[in-house]
Amino acid sequence: MTDTGRKRPWLAATLALLYPGLGHVYLREWLRAVLWFGLVVSTSTLLIGDEVVAPLQDGFTVDNVLAVSEALPVEVAVALLAIRALSMADAYLMATRENEATEIVAGAKCPNCGKELDEDIDFCHWCTTELDRPQAGAEQ
């Protein structure tokens, strides 16, 4: 089987570490990505008060962003960390499940050369080994 359809679970988790939902964008799970993005935005909007983000009204400078991050309440930081961890775990599991489903769909492999078989023929088209497959409609 070629690796063109396989996803890298660790890459999906790493992208989700950067920002929740990015790992799902990599997996092309668009709805889940939007839901993770929305969860972070809504959590931030609901839990962070205006007084915490007041330094950003002067502009987005490194000093202002650091001031806001230092002023975050512990509860907000823990909530955002939990969302990030859950997004990472979800992206990792989604990639793993997608890879397992790809392997199942890929079908059997040749017992002689180990390459993927075509379901429509009774021999391996790579090494011409004849296969012992039950015929369609034949009694077993």
Same domain, 35 and 100: yes
Among the listed ranges 73-77, 105-109, 122-126, which one has the minimum average pLDDT value? 105-109
- In the prediction, which pLDDT does 140 show? 43
Mean pLDDT to the nearest integer, 57-81: 91
- In the prediction, which pLDDT does 2 show? 45
- Tokens 């023929």 map to which residue? 121
Same domain, 56 and 87: yes
pLDDT tier, 134 (very low <50, low <70, confident <90, very high otherwise): low
Same domain, 28 and 8: yes
* CA dist., res. 55 & res. 11, Å (int): 34
Please give the residue range of the domain that contains residue 38. 3-106
Same domain, 84 and 139: no
**Count of domains observed in the chain:** 2
Same domain, 95 and 112: no
Same domain, 133 and 116: yes
Same domain, 135 and 113: yes
Same domain, 100 and 138: no
Mean pLDDT to the nearest integer, 28-39: 96
Whether 122 shows a pLDDT value over 90: the answer reads no
Same domain, 96 and 124: no
Instruction: Give the CA distances from residue 56 to residues 5, 49, 53, 69, 139, in Å, rounded to whole numbers and listed in that order.
Output: 43, 13, 6, 11, 74
- In the prediction, which pLDDT does 1 show? 40
pTM of the prediction?
0.68
Whether 138 shows a pLDDT value over 60: the answer reads no
- In the prediction, which pLDDT does 113 show? 83
